[in-house]
Structure 1
Amino acid sequence: MEGVEDAQGLLRIGPSTRVVLHDLGVRRDGDEWIVGRTSTRIFVAVPAAGARAVELLGEGLSVARTAQTLRAETGEEFDITDFIRDLAALGFVARIGDRPVPDAEPPRASLPWLRAHRVRFALHPVLPLLVGVLVSAAAAVLVRRPDLLPGYRDLLWSPHGSLVLFTGAAAGWALLFAHELAHLVTARAAGVPGRMRLGTRLQFLVMQTDISGIELAPRRHRLTAYLAGVALDLSVASALVIGLAVTDAGTTAHRLLATALVLALMPLPFQLMVFTRTDLYFVLQDLTRCRDLYGDGLAYARYALRRAVGSPGPGTARDGDPSARLPPHERRAVRLYSVVLVVGTVACLAFMATVTLPADVTLLFRAARGLGPSHGLAGNADSAAVLVVLGGVNVLWLVTRWRDRRSRRSGR
């Protein structure tokens, strides 16, 4: 009988069973195919026979007809029953026979009113050329006017520390939001819902945009989505350079433009920290054709550490090397990336322990001691600003870190 559960609680699937699949996307990627459901952001890599099975089942062929067609095309036998159950476990199957398959509620997308047809311009091939022209114009200005290059002193545009702190934080978060919005808009133009949220990368509090589903898009669209934030940062910085060139030095407008330029440039070096899965990490992962560069790199780093310290564990033997199962091109990329991952992570954590954390603690203690009637209005205002801005960022980091760890434990 179709659609009846067996003793193990699994749906019994017979030769005549037909299934109804959810709307799935399929894209060839080398020798494999990416199959996924954009609404739930779940994607898997399957061999060519698996992609063909998805196609045949989607056309309404029964289990027996699908297996027969695959046998005729490939000369091999396939267990279509287990394959259907695997697809159902991934949430790819809507119905098995006359029985609906329970479906989890898909994650909510950010800014759902932002429709793909309204932001289609984000994928227009002319847009990168316009960004290139703007950046080139700014570079030409800096060659002629090197005095416009900003420095850290440009952040101190006002003698009032609290004003500098608050405006810097407001402008920094606004630029960060615009950076992530660029990712969201570009992904939405490619038909990917996308979701913006706060996250952590080692000791850094970041905004991040989940654009799972972009894997099914053409490579140009994928790279455009990955690089959209960097392109926006460079465009803003370039426009500010041009603005500095046409304003008089010493004016408030000039000082504010210089401050904004420093804030726009500050996130760019962070993008080089690919061991924290920055935008450039996803570009690197795509160009090296790796499935999970970070996950595989971390697994290989742990394996290499076990071997270095002489711990037996499951990775001592050759067949225990987690990178051995990967194709040669992925294996080389993963092993090289594991070195970058370890060195970069150790350097970041060491910098936090020796510089960032002591500085933050010192500033917070000074701010706490600076409160009180004996310190005057200006002193109390500056101390309160430090506690609110610096303390708030650290508390937000802790809350975000705790939320992410809880989500990982619950499998959400």
Structure 2
Amino acid sequence: MKLSLQSQLILYPLTIRQDKKHYIVEESLSGEFFEMPKVCIDAIQLINQGESLAVIEQHLIQTYPDDDINLVEFAEQLLALGLIKEVDGEAIRVIKKSQSPKGFMWIPSWVGQLLFNKITSKLFVAVICINILLAIIHPGLLPEYQDIFLFDSMMLNVLMYMAITLVLIVIHEFGHILAVRSYNLPAKLEIGNRLLFIVFETDLSPAWKLKPQQRNRLYTAGMCFDQMMLFIAFVITLSFPEGHALLIGISGIVTLDIVIKIIYQCCFYMKTDLYYLVENITGCYNLMENGRQYLCKWLPFIKKDSTTETFVGEVKVVRMYGVFYICGVLLTLSMFAIYFIPQALYAYSQVLPELLHPVGNPYFWDAVVFLGQTLLIGGLLVYSWMKNRGREKISW
């Protein structure tokens, strides 16, 4: 399909919402969202009025004399995004598949509003402050890598840790889901990975239908639920005597898991909830991609993303993000050094000698089951990696 300045276009139905700096454009059929500056919105509106690209280009050159206006190039971008329905009366064949989530509509919106409103927002902030204060007053509440080893059986330790982690993940993600439902929007739960971590992810793309300030609730909801669970774990640890070893041990695992998640949220080289919150507050919606493009000048091993563009006024934010990007990498290395590597070394130092026991010995089978569990976790991780790579190939 050849485009020229004499071309006239018909676009698919688009919903345009003004955002902090620019505009969010929603393609109604696919449910995809795009960020565009004002000049692009003016061009789209003139296209919808039936003007040719030549007329639109001349109008925009007069309106935006400092901008480099090229309507043919812009039309080619619209074509690549699948937003053009017809060119000069000739239909464009595009397979439209809805990307919008449609799940959890069975949860009434009032349930979400009951848990997320102006009063509960203040309550969550208070809980965060109390947790920080308790950690300062009682430093013994802070977790150590040995906290996951409750039993002599490594198999039971792994099962206990996996069960508690799974429950906490579900609670975290239902925070997001309930926050989405508080605005009567649908949600979707998926499985993915962050480095070596298998994670559940709530599709928060419907957030683009909301105002920027309203989106903050969706991004922080999971962390708010985490803080509530951490508060409960702190209270249990402080309230029960040492005689309740199992209960205190479970609270210790909860504390360890949530503290690791808090550290993980600060790893800005991944798209965590906290990353999306910062992105939403600053209004720089391609912060990671632009940050990588900025950092690759000095760090060639960072993958460059040339498909994104840094808008005017975002350079300072992108540079600051670059600093946090590097700090996040260092934070991850520290997390491995303090928690994960010592845990793995201790676990395997205890398990591998048990393989020398006779087959009938229970410790032998404990070691076998433990190694099987690690293989299962590794298999799930490889599956999530392959799934994500498949998505990347499809997107290209």
Q: How would you bin the TM-score normalised by the shorter chain?
A: 0.7 to 0.9
Contact 2:265 2:273 in 1 (8 A): yes
| CA distance in 2 between partners of 1:334 and 1:157 (Å) | 44
Amino acid at match of 1:102: V
- Alignment gaps of 5+ in structure 1: 1-7, 309-314, 316-321
Q: Which residue of structure 2 aligns with residue 382 of structure 1?
A: 366
Q: Output the CA distance in 2 between the equivalents of 1:245 and 1:195.
A: 37
Q: Which moved more, 1:394-403 or 1:241-250?
A: 241-250
The answer for the alignment partner of 1:3 in structure 2 is none
Distance 1:120 1:340, change over 3 A: closer
1:90 aligns to 2:65 (yes or no): no
Corresponding residue number in structure 2 for 1:4: none
Structure-to-structure mapping, 1:242-257, within 5 angstroms: 242-251=235-244, 252-257=246-251
What is the CA distance between 1:237 and its match in structure 2? 0.8
1:53-202 map, 5 Å:
53-55=43-45, 61-63=49-51, 71=59, 86-87=77-78, 89-92=80-83, 102-107=94-99, 109=101, 111-114=103-106, 117-121=109-113, 123-138=116-131, 150-190=143-183, 193-202=186-195
Q: Is the partner of 2:297 in helix, strand or coil?
A: helix
Report what 1:36 is aligned to.
26
Which of 375, 384, 391 is the aligned partner of 1:400?
A: 384
How many Å apart are 1:224 and its aligned residue?
1.8
Q: 1:272 to 1:138 in 2, by over 3 A?
A: closer
- Alignment equivalent of 2:269, drawn from 275, 284, 302: 275
Is 1:335 the counterpart of 2:319? The answer is: yes
In 1, distance between residues paired with 2:156 and 2:354? 17
The one of 257, 260, 277 aligned to 2:254: 260
Equivalent position of 2:290 in the other structure = 296
Deviation at 1:281, TM superposition (A): 1.7
**In structure 1, distance between residues paired with 2:323 and 2:55:** 45
Residue-by-residue CA offset, 1:22-72 (whole Å, 9 max, x unaligned): 352422332x222123774533232324324545666xx43369968x949
Query: 2:25 is paired with a residue of what secondary structure?
Result: strand
- Three-state SS of the structure 2 residue aligned to 1:208 is strand
Check conservation: 2:104, 2:187, Cα contact below 8 A.
no
Pairwise CA distance, 1:129: 1.1
Q: CA deviation at 1:231?
A: 1.2
Among all aligned residue pairs of Structure 1 and Structure 2, give the percentage whose two residues are the same amino acid: 18
Q: 1:80 to 1:194 in 2, by over 3 A?
A: farther
- Equivalent position amino acid for 1:22 in 2: P
Q: 1:162 to 1:253 in 2, by over 3 A?
A: same
1:27 corresponding residue in structure 2:
18
**In structure 1, distance between residues paired with 2:336 and 2:139:** 33
Residue by residue, what CA displacement relative to the aligned partner does 1:345-378 show, whole Å, maximum 9, x if unpaired? 4775798799967985996697567447615443
CA contact (8 A) 2:267 2:328 kept: yes
Partner secondary structure for residue 19 of structure 2: strand
In structure 1, C-alpha distance between the alignment counterparts of 2:188 and 2:81, rounded to whole Å: 20
Cα 1:331–1:147 change in 2 (3 A) is closer
What's the C-alpha RMSD, in Å, of the aligned pairs?
4.5
Q: CA deviation at 1:384?
A: 2.9
Partner SS, residue 322 of structure 2: helix
SS where residue 287 of structure 1 aligns? Answer: helix
- The letter of the residue matching 2:358 is S
- Whether the 8 Å CA contact 2:23–2:37 is kept in 1: the answer is yes
Counterpart residue type for residue 236 of structure 1: M
The offset of 1:168, in angstroms, is: 0.9
Q: 2: CA distance between counterparts of 1:323 and 1:83?
A: 14
Amino acid at match of 1:109: P
Q: 1:398–1:246: structure 2 CA closer, same or farther, 3 Å change rule?
A: same
Aligned equivalents of 1:52, 1:115: Cα separation in 2: 39
Q: Distance in 1 between matches of 2:11 and 2:349?
A: 62
Aligned residues: 387
2:395 corresponds to which residue?
Answer: 411
Closer, same or farther: CA 128–346 of 1 in aligned 2, 3 Å: closer
> Cα distance 1:64–1:113, how it changes in 2: closer, same or farther (>3 A)?
same
The alpha-carbon deviation at position 234 of structure 1 amounts to: 0.6
Partner SS state of residue 255, structure 2: helix
Deviation at 1:400, TM superposition (A): 1.5
Q: One-letter code of the match for 1:395?
A: G
The one-character-per-residue Cα deviations of 1:237-287 (angstroms, maximum 9, x if unpaired) are 112223344434322434433433333333111111112222222222233
3-state SS of paired residue (1:63)? coil
Contact kept in structure 1, 2:11 and 2:83, CA below 8 Å: no
Displacement, 1:230? 1.3
